[in-house]
Structure 1
């Protein structure tokens, strides 16, 4: 067995660098590399397996196995020892490989004469690219230094793959970041856009994984770590967090930046031939591998801190990333693994769209995207890895499809679609000041949803008659501490003034479920959507509710005030919340403050239980808004975040429409105004059917008002109601086909 010294390890990396620097085709490079490694490690075999697709490995180069097996031998991930290495992402060191569990013999390779095997994954920051293997005839347990040497070579291969070193004539694998890619995700905000990629967390590319001068690289690392420490200390000193737990998190972050063991490991990697950047990335890859296997959430979070520090240090060493001042493309579409509401607000309306690997349709980012009226598609796994800043990209927020580096034919069809939408918007603009009056003479009030001051200019431009829902939680979600009463009062007053006399309905704080305040300790609930949220939090945290109600009263400044409580499940919750608002009105009266000229107190009906509340509830509520998004998921018991079930249930399902009709009848009996608020209100066919069921007010995103009004002005609700009733009588599950057939017969394509 050959023990490798540090200098021998550097010698191997030096030879590898020279091989990679030669001007040759991709396949020839891989063949030379396998020969070089086998010669250096004194093994009879060295083979490189690369992923042909996400689940299949292919033998792409070998020294020692049958040459005819190259590009012919394939295996599924998890199949045989090589497939197992790819699956677990860790080395396998077997002195007697055929005796190992899961060993699979590939007869076409001629490997039956080889006994020992050492295989390591070729991966970069958790992204698996293939497997590097050496084999010998003798039973041989490879030393720690040999395992390390092979891991380092595998990491360098991964880096060179990123740089396209194996692309070209005879290449073993295709060019990365060059081919068209389509992602299917989940629609979180509708809309379409064409632009260029802007990566929120740019991918750092290490162009010099191998270095000749360890002393120089160690100095670079030391200087980079010192710059990192300075930036972390500034982050901590500039933070105004007062909560001990939150400061403890930042202190732990600083502790990692000063970790001697972390730095020592990187110095050891440099001593064995890696550059400073490659040493950082090697330790980062190990941390990410541990992160995926650690069950404890606290330890996972700490490993995430180390991952983030590694990214910061890599950007310092390479000069890559946002800190370098690179300019955002002209039509940027943001791609990120995930993003917070504050960060998204920082980008503002400069973005044309957003694509997230994670996220949810009810996340903070989705709320902000709706407020900014930019399309958002979530659950696009791999998008942040595959894309590069500046890549052309198309985002279809209607279908949940993203085209990265699209082919010309797809781009042309997409531009035609955008042009048709723009032409339709011109038609809708002519209707801005016209009422949404149907052919049968029924007028439907169309309101808009909002959550930011940035939304309010849309009130005039869209033709909305008012704000049917102003989400007050965004001002809480985008800060690192509870906003002051005076700040909220000033904001709410600006909203009222911007509405220029139009009605504004303020929904009180709707947090919980997937909307967790950064400064509020999150409870681990088995089903947060059915847990401690919205009005439940407000009633249990009377101080926060009281402060917000006082801010709303003062913001009215003697004018009308409309307040709505979210997620009310039973009459007592509404009565309790209503009493608290009236108590604050009385308190303001005693203090001599100006009171609202009128006060209307309403509730969002988002749970089926509230539809069956006592008559007194409908008598005491000044208005009711049906919260369609939540109501639909509870009605069908189908989580709207779950793609496997949410699309199985149609809003125009006969049962759901009948339920809405019952709510309308109960409200009519007590003369309580009722509206429908949610994404479905902004879909023309759904809006038409809601109006046919008796709803006279709809609240939606501003961009939907034009299309909805355009259809409503061309239909007779009596005729639509007849079609719905006929479908119900025939036992149809949904009225959608019948309604579409009616519109088609009238010549109205939707």
Structure 2
């Protein structure tokens, strides 16, 4: 927390710095709120009490699941089914046989009431999942646990924050915001959110971004002064301004209005290939897990899909989807794009993306273990089924197949051999497929990035997953708040790795794209353009911003700034250099970008 005034007119002005999780700027009155913990009564049962207690538990589970279905449907209408699927994950938790077994065991064997069963199960499972490095399983468990306890206590709904009497929008200040809390908020009265915990990958943060609510986390909310007056929350820079001056407020309100105007304006400019100011064509693709929730006009305008995450089909199912179910899903996606290319990544679960119906051994470092392609090669029935479905779908569109987490060229050769075998099976069965379907490899492991030239000689295309590549290269869990500052994709070493992959692919004459967050973040996108990248795949909602940037910069400018960046030693120097050019060539994007480091 830092204090001070820029212009001498705001005595007591306090700037609180946290971690930005949802962009935007907002002004509102602070509302301190924390849900009161639900009491957990402890009652000893007799054997005769057990059937009735099991019925209480069963009824609470049934009602909680129905509520989650209603929340998912309601939120899906606002933000699309993709982000609302958070509540599908919670429904799967409620249906998990192992969790239900633990709940019944407390009642049947320990002869304790359902409230204790829920409390103890959530505590035990939270401890088991504490080392899962990404996603939000512990928060989902707590959310589900609260919902069950409210049902058992006869409380139909959570206690909402009180409404503003003045009609002024509010800045909600709370210790933690779980997904159901976020979904239940009255957005008409909400300006922004400030929390003590919950990183950028948390489900509550994902919902806040989808709903357009600026949010900052990692703030010591317990020690914030509960004083009156407006607060300014900058979810792009991760700052909260208390006791702002009149000038601060005027600037903030103008910037907030400009942010909304520009975001709406850019959203309509998505058609066709991007072109630099000197008319160099740049391929802009999107990352999706389905097309639900995307505006039809956006889908119609897409150049193609650079990353279709097939694991979300598996995560949304209660058991492994059959070949026919997968085929119909992939065929529908391919037909929706017509003659545009769609790249399906084979299932990438394990590590940070567990399947509730497929239990993997618990390991200290799951992201370094049995996940991605490693899992597929050791679980051939699942892999063969998916490859058959994908090949069959290739008869209905321009399908490419991408395998994740490749570590060695030998692994990729095994995949090629398996694909050839599956193609032979389909021919013998008389099932149509694209005989020339391209097979690509994701570059996420530093060792294979260094061997990119060799991998590119074997693969039909490469796709660089900069999120995991950065995480592995920096030995830093990007979702761990204690080391989050070390997760810097613009680290000189990470930049060198990515450039090495781009050059290796070019030498082999193999197409290469980047599908990680670097592709959609303007500063790093500019750098990648200058390093020779010509294909970028990103979130659909980042595409118009990158398109606008590229339209305003020449290739010579991008190459020059990339060469300068590669000579610098620190992340701050590199980001400042890139940010300066971005703001210079496209000043209208300034309100959408994080602040340049000083």
**TM-score of the alignment, normalized to the shorter chain, above 0.5:** yes
Classify 1:529/1:596 alpha carbon distance in 2 versus 1 (closer, same or farther; 3 Å): same
Q: Counterpart of 2:471?
A: 633
Provide the rounded CA distance (Å) in 2 between the counterparts of 1:378 and 1:488.
39
Provide the rounded CA distance (Å) in 2 between the counterparts of 1:436 and 1:691.
12
Provide the rounded CA distance (Å) in 1 between the counterparts of 2:194 and 2:335.
34
Q: Counterpart of 1:576?
A: 414
Provide the rounded CA distance (Å) in 2 between the counterparts of 1:491 and 1:333.
40
| Residue 652 of structure 1: how far off its partner (Å) | 3.6
Provide the rounded CA distance (Å) in 2 between the counterparts of 1:373 and 1:585.
44
Provide the rounded CA distance (Å) in 2 between the counterparts of 1:434 and 1:296.
47
Question: 2:307–2:342: 8 Å Cα contact kept in structure 1?
Answer: yes
Question: 1:462–1:705: 8 Å Cα contact kept in structure 2?
Answer: no
Q: Counterpart of 2:587?
A: 748
Mapped pair 1:533 → 2:383: no
Question: 1:435–1:443: 8 Å Cα contact kept in structure 2?
Answer: yes
Classify 1:633/1:189 alpha carbon distance in 2 versus 1 (closer, same or farther; 3 Å): farther
Correspondence list, 1:212-227, <5 A: none
Q: Counterpart of 1:453?
A: 291
Question: Given the two structures, how large is their TM-score scaled by the length of structure 2?
Answer: 0.69
Question: 1:361–1:378: 8 Å Cα contact kept in structure 2?
Answer: no
Question: 1:344–1:368: 8 Å Cα contact kept in structure 2?
Answer: no
Classify 1:430/1:319 alpha carbon distance in 2 versus 1 (closer, same or farther; 3 Å): closer
Classify 1:536/1:629 alpha carbon distance in 2 versus 1 (closer, same or farther; 3 Å): same
Question: 1:565–1:602: 8 Å Cα contact kept in structure 2?
Answer: yes
Mapped pair 1:256 → 2:106: yes
Mapped pair 1:467 → 2:305: yes
Q: 2:401 aligns with which of 552, 559, 563?
A: 563
Which secondary structure does the structure 2 equivalent of 1:468 belong to? strand
Instruction: Describe the superposition over 1:665-689 as per-residue Cα deviations: whole angstroms up to 9, x where unpaired.
Output: 2111111011111212112222112
Provide the rounded CA distance (Å) in 1 between the counterparts of 2:284 and 2:383.
29
Provide the rounded CA distance (Å) in 2 between the counterparts of 1:590 and 1:345.
53
Q: Counterpart of 1:725?
A: 563
Q: Counterpart of 2:157?
A: 321
| Residue 534 of structure 1: how far off its partner (Å) | 0.8
Mapped pair 1:688 → 2:526: yes
RMSD: 5.4
Q: 2:575 aligns with which of 722, 736, 745?
A: 736
Question: 1:456–1:498: 8 Å Cα contact kept in structure 2?
Answer: no
Q: Counterpart of 1:590?
A: 428
Question: 1:505–1:563: 8 Å Cα contact kept in structure 2?
Answer: yes
Classify 1:237/1:284 alpha carbon distance in 2 versus 1 (closer, same or farther; 3 Å): closer
Provide the rounded CA distance (Å) in 1 between the counterparts of 2:376 and 2:36.
42
Instruction: Describe the superposition over 1:61-110 as per-residue Cα deviations: whole angstroms up to 9, x where unpaired.
Output: xxxxxxxxxxxxxxxxxxxxxxxxxxxxxxxxxxxxxxxxxxxxxxxxxx
Question: 1:507–1:566: 8 Å Cα contact kept in structure 2?
Answer: yes
Which secondary structure does the structure 1 equivalent of 2:438 belong to? strand
Q: Counterpart of 1:651?
A: 489
Classify 1:448/1:373 alpha carbon distance in 2 versus 1 (closer, same or farther; 3 Å): farther
Provide the rounded CA distance (Å) in 1 between the counterparts of 2:304 and 2:544.
14
Q: 1:232 aligns with which of 45, 48, 57?
A: 57
Correspondence list, 1:88-107, <5 A: none
Which secondary structure does the structure 1 equivalent of 2:292 belong to? helix
Q: Counterpart of 1:496?
A: 334
Q: 2:275 aligns with which of 430, 437, 443?
A: 437
Question: 1:550–1:584: 8 Å Cα contact kept in structure 2?
Answer: yes
Question: 2:20–2:236: 8 Å Cα contact kept in structure 1?
Answer: yes
Question: 2:171–2:194: 8 Å Cα contact kept in structure 1?
Answer: no
| Residue 740 of structure 1: how far off its partner (Å) | 3.6
Could you say which structure has the greater relative contact order, defined with CA pairs below 8 angstroms and 6 or more residues apart?
A: 2
Question: 1:676–1:699: 8 Å Cα contact kept in structure 2?
Answer: yes
Question: 2:23–2:214: 8 Å Cα contact kept in structure 1?
Answer: yes
| Residue 375 of structure 1: how far off its partner (Å) | 6.5
Correspondence list, 1:106-255, <5 A: 186-187=19-20, 203=36, 229-233=54-58, 247=97, 249-255=99-105
Provide the rounded CA distance (Å) in 2 between the counterparts of 1:432 and 1:296.
44
Mapped pair 1:478 → 2:316: yes
| Residue 585 of structure 1: how far off its partner (Å) | 1.8
Classify 1:403/1:725 alpha carbon distance in 2 versus 1 (closer, same or farther; 3 Å): closer
Question: 2:457–2:508: 8 Å Cα contact kept in structure 1?
Answer: yes
Alignment length (residue pairs): 516
Q: Counterpart of 2:593?
A: none
Q: 1:676 aligns with which of 511, 514, 518?
A: 514
Provide the rounded CA distance (Å) in 1 between the counterparts of 2:371 and 2:216.
23
Question: 1:448–1:459: 8 Å Cα contact kept in structure 2?
Answer: no
| Residue 373 of structure 1: how far off its partner (Å) | 7.6
Question: 2:346–2:386: 8 Å Cα contact kept in structure 1?
Answer: yes
Question: 2:18–2:238: 8 Å Cα contact kept in structure 1?
Answer: yes
| Residue 363 of structure 1: how far off its partner (Å) | 6.4
| Residue 586 of structure 1: how far off its partner (Å) | 1.7
Question: Given the two structures, how large is their TM-score scaled by the length of structure 1?
Answer: 0.56
Instruction: Describe the superposition over 1:664-716 as per-residue Cα deviations: whole angstroms up to 9, x where unpaired.
Output: 22111111011111212112222112111100011111111111111111111
Correspondence list, 1:277-356, <5 A: 312=148, 314-321=150-157
Which secondary structure does the structure 2 equivalent of 1:453 belong to? coil
Which secondary structure does the structure 2 equivalent of 1:448 belong to? strand
For structure 1, the residue ranges without an aligned partner over 5 or more in a row are 1-180, 210-217, 219-223, 267-279, 325-329, 387-391
Instruction: Describe the superposition over 1:709-735 as per-residue Cα deviations: whole angstroms up to 9, x where unpaired.
Output: 111111112123223324545767643
